[in-house]
Amino acid sequence: MSKFKYGKLKLTSTFLFIKLGKKYNNCESCGSEKTGEDEGSMHFDGVTGHFKRTCKCGWEIELVFEKVE
């Protein structure tokens, strides 16, 4: 399993996704925690380290994590 750099930590893609899921659970703009059809989305690609969270209000964040192993 791939590991990614997260600050000073090296996390497996599973752990990283759990962390990101908690951190970005709520939209930073409207506070919505919903994902799903018409509400928003959360996606993490454990191969490329690409994370994206979107919200129906238009807020979105996109992050790419560096693979270390």
The phi and psi torsions of 8 (rounded to 5 degrees) equal -90, -5
| Candidate list 6, 15, 24, 59; residue touching Zn ion; CB under 5 A | 59
The alpha helices in 1-69, defined as continuous H runs, are: 13-23
Q: Does 57 bind Zn ion (CB under 5 A)?
A: yes
Q: Does 29 bind Zn ion (CB under 5 A)?
A: yes
Bridge partners for 43 per DSSP: 52
Taking the least distance from each CB to Zn ion, the nearer of 57 and 68 is 57
Consecutive H or E run containing 30: none
| Candidate list 18, 30, 63, 68; residue touching Zn ion; CB under 5 A | 30
